[in-house]
Amino acid sequence: MQITSKFTTAVHILTCIEVFSEQMRVTSDFLSGSTGVNAVIVRNVLSKLRSAGIVNTRQGSGGAHLAKALDEITLYDIYKAVDCVDDEGLFHFHENPNANCPVGRNIHKVMDGRLTAAQTAFENELKKTTLAEVVSDTKKIISEE
């Protein structure tokens, strides 16, 4: 299963909020223009981020603001906030392996632990990176343009 684009969209949105909030009200329309994602989807992502306590928003032209310090928000927090994967996790096994086939009968025994370990490693890696790092790297690249 593939992680939905909501994750990278959310990271983009949060980075924009930090980069532009001093200069302007960061609205869903502005964020839609930056992300190239429909404003309705942007508002949906913002709603999930708000429910997770990551952003504050005001309807109308109030804009969005970070609710936490950049170094208190990890990529894992964002990943969990926007429901990038369902309860089954990153990997979805095909539904009906043939129990009469020796491979089909045993593939879950061989793969389930490995797939769980891979997802855990991925999530642990996300926990190591804060939004502060993403914003810092983004600002550095912008200043070099």
pLDDT tens track for 72-107: 999 999 999 998 777 677 887 787 889 999 999 999
pLDDT given at position 91: 82
Which residue, among 62, 65, 71, 114, has the nearest Cα to 93 in the 3D structure?
A: 114
**CATH architecture of the region 6-144:** Orthogonal Bundle (1.10)
- Do 78 and 66 touch, CB atoms closer than 8 A? no
Which residue, among 42, 37, 128, has the nearest Cα to 77 in the 3D structure?
A: 128
- Do 77 and 54 touch, CB atoms closer than 8 A? yes
pLDDT given at position 23: 92
CA distances in angstroms from 6 to 70, 86, 103, 117, 134, listed in the order given: 19, 13, 36, 23, 17
pLDDT given at position 94: 80
Low-confidence residues of the chain: pLDDT under 50: 1
CA distances in angstroms from 57 to 12, 21, 80, 86, listed in the order given: 16, 12, 19, 26
